Amino acid sequence: MKLEIIHMNYPIPDSVTLHFKKPVMVRRYKPGQYGVFVFSTTSGTFRRSYSLHSVYDIDQELRITIRAVAGGKVSNGVLTKEFSSIDSKILKDHFLSNPLLTRSAI
């Protein structure tokens, strides 16, 4: 699903927070779940996973923050606004912790 960036801010000089319009068809999510995002430019398409840090029931948008890394095609491209489109393929929940599970149950 194509994501529309409605706002960008820079919490620190080498990072950018992307605020996406929340798609109507997106299912409920929790902070910490991650999505597979597809970044497209004239030089190629790149898939990356980023954690969501917005709250479905509270926030009006999806948010991810990306920090630049040396030689990072996506992270540096986002900072310099080189991408023509960003899509989300999947929202995952693998990084959610369940406080009811104990170490012995894992």
Please report, for the chain, the start and end positions of each structural domain, with discontinuous segments joined by +.
2-95
Residue with tokens 């620190």: 12
Per-residue confidence band for 48, with pLDDT thresholds at 50, 70 and 90: very high
Could you name the CATH architecture of 2-95? Beta Barrel (2.40)
The pLDDT of 26-40, averaged and rounded, is 83
Tell me the whole-structure pTM to 2 decimals.
0.78
Q: What is the pLDDT of residue 100?
A: 53
Identify the bridge partners of residue 48 per DSSP, sorted by sequence position.
37
Q: List all residues 6 or more positions away from 38 whose beta carbon is below 8 Å from its beta carbon.
A: 45, 46, 47, 86, 87, 88, 89
